[in-house]
Structure 1
Amino acid sequence: MKTLNLFKLIALLLVSSIFQVVTAQTAKTLVQNNLLKNENYLQISPRAGYDVPFYSNDTPYIDYKGGLDLGISVDYYWKWFGVGADVDYIANTPESTYPTQGLFNRGNVPLTSFNLSENGIKRFFYGIGPDFKHQSNSGKWVYELNTRAGLSSIKGGRTELRETTTMANELLNFHAGYNAKNVLTAKGQVRVNYFFNQFFGVHAGAYYMRHFDVEELVDPTLGIAASYNPFITTTGTAGQSITNLDPKNFPNERIEPLKGAISSVGVFAGISLKLASNKTEKTCKACPIYSLAVTARDKYTKEILPDTDVVVKNLKGEVAQTGKTNAYGVVVFNNILPDNYTIDGMLYNTKMESNSTAVNEFKPKETLQKEILYTDLNFILKGKVVVCNSPNAIEGVSVNLKNLVIAEQKNSLTDDKGEFVFNVAKNTTYEVYGKKNNYFSQTETISTKDYDRNTTLFVKLEVCMEEADCGKAIGLKNILYDLDKYFIKEAAKKELNRLVQFMQDNPAISVEVSSHTDSRASHEYNATLSQNRANAAVDYVVSQGIDRKRITGIGYGETKLLNKCADGVDCSENQHQLNRRTEMKVICPN
């Protein structure tokens, strides 16, 4: 049953390949050439695989295991037809399956020691025959049916099992093996190639091989070709299996060698080397040149779209060419074969409206113009992360986009230019912040309610981050208090939430929050007020889930002024405001 199923599989593969070849002859694309699709060429295909054999030699207690197949094919093709030659080296191993556990001889003596020799079988095949192939429109995929007829040599396979418990050393299982030469052999195989360029590719396939009338050896010492000792298996009183050599039957010996078929199936993979003929190269140089230019554009704003991925496929879904639009939103495909194509586009993971070509639209030495449209009604948020107060971009920042309308979050990673991209919905408000070790990010709010999709596709945003080195003070904006008060106002919570997020993103650090006043009022009053304000900020951060051990609040009063506005110095309100501030800094270890 196992052998029959394998035969059915091989037959199905052969029929499928023949159908593809016959169908291909009616396709006009087979008579066209490009850099990959050659008509006349020599192909060399070394391979390695695994072979499963089937021996019809009447040895009931010997199985033949699979083994290595090494081979090479050399084929020359004229369009869809060719001639090829194969050489194969195949190694298989016989295995004795004669039962030795619980075995007794005819005198009921338990046999406990044995001598087993199993010699491997080497097969060497060489043959020639016709080839048939079908190429995809791009020439990258090539499907082949190879048929071969030739000769083989088959050597080895001697298998001998003796018991060594008694002085008789009785022969239990035996086959003399093979030493056959010039054995008539047929082989059929299917092979699928994928070519990376005009010369180099890889392949995989399967084959069926049959050796006809392979004659066994006769052992010159024993005078037999095969033998096995009949046995009877019973169940003991303890439920164990007991095997006795049959006392009523002598060893089943076969003196005359049989002539039987040996067949095998195998799978393989390897590389394909293509050597195109000069005739093909000259013909291709004289071929008409066709080009296709694709422009990517937004349907509503009409603006061109750089960095759009474009794929051109034939009607079978095979990729003919791919590319990315340039700064002008255009990608040009040169040396393309006229055909009925589908043109697909993708911009920032959003599929665009496809377009198509007809074969009769292509004109020699002219560029066919086509357009694909971005029709998605959402906006594209194009952002950049920089160091605060500098143009320096920050790479590798995990940017979080939080939808404030439907409780949704997205993440993106900045590239080497500090840039990131999100698709954002209409009439929605978002918060955007960055995450990177030892960086303190600003949180930006953006609302798409302020934009019209008919006039805008790209929404620009810049997020700045400050490097939070230990001991470096970073100002917290909009931490404002009522006069002589230290209660946290709603407007200040947003900025303190930014500190909370920073501490959640960096769980190993501790932070100092400091509050500062201007020089007006007494030193004692300012010290007390600033300490209360620092404590209020710490209490809020702790209420958001931060361990109090990680955050310290210090009120510095008027001891760390940022300008000359000390006691007795006449300063404007704006100058005093500069000194009234709340800051954070990472606490240095120890």
Structure 2
Amino acid sequence: MKNILLFFLLFLISIVSYAQGIGPSPGGKWQLITFGGFSFPFGNYKGDVGKAKNGTMVGITADKYFLGNKFALGLDFRAFNHEMCTCGDVYFANGSLVAKYDNATRFRGLNLMFGPTYQYTIDEFGIEAFVKGGIMFQEFPKYSHVLSVNNQAEFLPEETNNPTNSPKSLLGNAGLRFSYQINPIIALFLQTDYMNTFGSRLGDENGEFHYKKYEQIKDIDRNTSLSESGGVILNLNEYFNSNPKDLKTNIKAINVLAGVKFALAKNRKTNIPEIPMVVKPTEQMKNILVVVKDKLTGMPLEGVSVFIKSETGTWNFLTDVNGEIPIIKNAKRAIYFMSGSKNSVGTTTASIAEKDFDEDSELIYRELLHNDPRFTLVGETVSQKDDSKLPNINTALTNLTNSTTRSQISDTEAKFAYQLAPESDYSVVAHQFGKFSQTEKVSTKGLDRSETFYVKLKLPVGDIETGKTFVLKDIHYDFDKSNIRPDAALILDNVVSIMKQNPSLKIELSSHTDCRGNNAYNLILSDARARSAVAYIVRNGIEKNRLVAKGYGETKLLNNCYDGVRCSEVEHQRNRRTELRVLKYDR
């Protein structure tokens, strides 16, 4: 902003110097304008999405008139600043809801526009109407609201999610200018105009301001008490809707401005005085690059918060897929300190001394190491039908060793991540109204942390619909038995959870055998196993009238492995299954 104001001042001095001693132009004149004033946001940009406050604007315009000084074409260059409303923090018995700002709390823009102007004058009074279009170079604020409970669990009910905080956007501008001519050269004016960016993209950049928000359904105040267990906020759904809203807005404002117009003749030569230039000694500046790596594997780490501080300023960054922060360009000679954090585990620290700026290289490189002995599960929620990505799905991870559960909603790219302890078994499911997922098992047993950092998983999710059938994976019974084993109980617990989330759901739970053995006996055994599974679900809180147990024996084989046909064990295994069929479901 200082550079902009300096350029504006020098341009104004040049205009005044040129205007002295020249008369009115007999033909098409040049008109140079300087102005400043106030800018008033409105709509979503001022409301809940942008939260922009009234601000200021300065600018310059150059118009070339034709046709008896009635019509003109001109360039308009202006800068504006809108501070952002900041909300108050809330502190309650076991936590807080606070705002975290990652950069300046303001919207700022540089506008470069071109367009026509029509002028009508009566004696000393004039009115001009103009329409212009161009490009706005924008700067967006970046912030989030952090709900923290017992310093153990966090949730972000609101956050900006712009692809970039410095996008470009197409811009439209129209307005009226009312002027009074003091002499043939100088006029004073008042101006009001309407400014609006439009279109969602300019090239590869998205020019809209994006904001993700979970609607609050219950106030949080100092008397609030939230429950937390194992890093998970248990009663979050009492205060926020489970599905976020993706909000967006363009920059739009009404501007009220005042300024001076200079009419410049083209038949006089201008003697512009030279402005002495003060040459300062060249500062020693360097570019700074910081990379974060996993200490145990040496792999670059994405998503690490890196904090850099010096007497010249502070910076907060998130590392990219290469473990790098954006390069800090033209950093001034100073002492710098840097550190990082991911998943509540800090990195090593590093520093830059002033003597490092004396080195020949233009780049100063520093490396931070992150030492977290846990594994990282990187998951993706996908459609059971076509494997396409399904964002905003609530997932739950259960440690089967200590029975602790954590939950997380997959992001806009359908990604979710959990930290996994060594030598442990876990289950992962999707808990979402109207959705069904298998219980997927994940284990870190036998994995070497020095060789493996990421554990990857796809979690298929399907829609619950009347008549639809799902095969329940990994329900096994002991030979010639129908009792529910612990590993089968884990799968049935997921069925219990799905039925509690969907109270209108009624199902048939069926058991199937392969063709080996006596047909009548297989029918009796499968029916006993189906009844045993239904009894387990009823014992865990589901009404009996919502369940039907059915044993089909070997009557519904999925392949051609009938009596007398030689088949592999894999082919027989496909027929030994437990199925869930939706008898009735109302959304």
TM-score by length of 2: 0.49
Larger Rg: 1
TM-score by length of 1: 0.48
